[in-house]
Amino acid sequence: MAISKKYAGLPDLDPAPEVYETPDLADDVSTVQQQQTGTVRTISPTPSNHDSGDPGLDRQPVDREGARRRFGASRVDARDVDFSDAIGASHRSYRTRTSRRRRMIKNDKGEDEVVYMSDSEDETLGRKLARLKREAEEVRLQLQKLDQEKDSDAEFKDSVEEQQQPQRPDQDENVTPDNVDELSKILDGLTVKAGLKGLGTAEEDFISKLDSNARQRQQQRAHDASIISHPTGGQAASLNGALSPVSAVAAFSDRLTALEAALGVGSTSAESSQTTSILPTLNNLSSQITTLFGALNPPTTNTASSGPHTTPLLDSVSSRLKALANESKALEQSRKAALESLARLHETRMHHLVAANIHTGRHSGRGVPNTSVGPDGGVFKVIQTRIEPKDFFPTTDNGRPDYDYMSRPDDESLQITSRVFLEEQATKVTALYQLLPSIQNLQPLLPVVLERLRTLSVIHAGAAEAKNGLDDVEKRQLEMQAEIKQWREAVEVVEKGLAELEESMKGNTKVVGDMVGDLEGRIGTLSSRR
């Protein structure tokens, strides 16, 4: 360091040059960026040789990628924050928030990797259930692996060596296959509930059931294989005798479960009621056949043995069928009676027509002279009968001529009228028969329509009451407005009166003040004179 001549004579100055030393790089220290999962700082296995001389130097490399992954998603709110070291300043803390969540997953190489998930990527219910099932399966596999290791170690290690081994933590001892099975059942129940609520389909439920059954069979096979490959203690003695009964019982249980599912017996789950079973279908068909047979062939005599019990719905249907059959029979009988009465009426009118024609032919020789020429040219006397009114008009029951007969309508018109009436009646009956199927089809809708009509009537009544109430309220409002107007006018009159009184009071006050002043002046003069 070159010292200026100006400071050369000053004491306590070191003219030696200033040296700034940096440590040498180690050979095995790499400058390549290392992939790290967090902010853990790694120490180099071979530190520099200058560490012993300079213990204050920190030679650990900075993981920039890890810091970026750690703090990249954070948002810092540093508004109105003073970072200075001023004593009088009011130091305020700043707030940081992140919109991501860290999650440990395994990459393609089998290494743990941190993945940041945003709030929009939250797990749904289906993903949570799938993740829980996957974790439960991993726990089950780990337990099986631990059991196999324990069985293999039991063959080669004695009790002393086992006592020298470090004990496992309490949480590993508490985790048993029964707990895992219970957790799997709970997850299956949650999956079924989610499917019943509409979060899944029937196909997904079927696939999940198949997966659970396959998982149970795989677990049973693995357990049997572990027992066969590594028998311990009394298992080797009872293995040959117990394996075949267990497999036989398992096969029989599977067959019995399949048979119960097909027959519909023992179906306790909520989703089993949706499937079609054999026994309920057969019972329904037998009840329908019995009801139809009883409706079509009613029993003539009362037998000792009563028929099968039917439901109230089937009883009502059978009674309705019987009533419809009786009504159809009565309608057919009334139709036949109407046709017979029309036929009798037609025959009666035809008889009247024939009788009228006979009477007309009988009196056709009216106005013939008394004498007539015979075939031989002689003249002979013709017997002339007396013509009476009864010969022209039909007689009544008393033997008197019916003079109203000529005023009655003609027989042909009566015949045409009867024929038209018969055709009209036949047309009406045919139309009624054609309308019966549509009426029967609309019968289930009648209760709903009637209920809606009743509801509409109630709604209309309520609307009418509400309208009347609104009219009353509006009327009261108008009355209140009129009263308020009157009160406002009265208040204005009172205000005017008060203003006038105030002005008069001011005038009176002024007059009284002048008078008081005059009196004071007089009193002052009087006092001065004294």
Give tens-digit pLDDT for 112-142. Answer: 665 555 444 456 777 777 788 888 888 888 8
Domain membership flag for residue 248: no
Q: What is the mean pLDDT of the chain?
A: 69
Domain membership flag for residue 528: no
- 77 by DSSP, 3-state: which? strand
Nearest Cα neighbor of 194 from 255, 267, 270 is 270
Per-residue pLDDT, averaged over 432-455, amounts to 83
Domain membership flag for residue 18: no
Judge if 210 and 135 occupy the same domain: yes
Task: Note the pLDDT of residue 338.
Answer: 79
Domain of residue 170 covers 124-230
Judge if 323 and 393 occupy the same domain: yes
Residue 503 pLDDT greater than 50, yes or no: yes
Which domain-ending residue is among 412, 443, 474? 443
Distance of alpha carbon 467 from alpha carbon 460, whole angstroms: 10
Judge if 418 and 501 occupy the same domain: no
pLDDT digits (tens, 9 = 90+) for 81-99: 777 777 766 666 777 766 5
Token pair in block for residue 211: 């997966």
Token pair in block for residue 178: 């029964």
Task: Note the pLDDT of residue 11.
Answer: 76
- 87 by DSSP, 3-state: which? coil
Domain membership flag for residue 404: yes
Q: What is the 3-state secondary structure (H, E, C) of 420-432?
A: HHHHHHHHHHHHH
Per-residue pLDDT, averaged over 475-489, amounts to 95
Judge if 423 and 356 occupy the same domain: yes
Distance of alpha carbon 343 from alpha carbon 331, whole angstroms: 18
Which phi-psi region, left, alpha or beta, contains residue 80 (left: φ > 0; alpha: ψ -120 to 50)?
left
Centroid of chain to Cα 1:
89
Judge if 415 and 512 occupy the same domain: no
What's the count of helices (H) and strands (E) in the chain, helices before strands?
12, 6
- Residue 36: pLDDT band (50, 70, 90) is very low
Domain membership flag for residue 287: no
Which domain-ending residue is among 195, 230, 265? 230
Task: Note the pLDDT of residue 228.
Answer: 56
Q: What percent of the chain has pLDDT over 70?
A: 52
- Residue 447: pLDDT band (50, 70, 90) is confident
Judge if 431 and 496 occupy the same domain: no
Per-residue pLDDT, averaged over 49-74, amounts to 71
Q: How far apart are the first and last CA of the chain?
A: 115
Domain membership flag for residue 89: no
Judge if 337 and 423 occupy the same domain: yes
Q: Which residues contact 83 (CB under 8 A, 6 or more apart)?
A: none
Residue 372 pLDDT greater than 50, yes or no: no
Distances (CA, A) of 464 to 199, 379, 456, 468, 475: 45, 102, 12, 6, 16
Nearest Cα neighbor of 145 from 116, 111, 172, 174 is 172
Judge if 322 and 439 occupy the same domain: yes
How many domains, the chain? 3
Domain membership flag for residue 333: yes
* CA angle, 82 then 87 then 90, to 5°: 40
Distance of alpha carbon 520 from alpha carbon 61, whole angstroms: 107
Token pair in block for residue 327: 């009504």
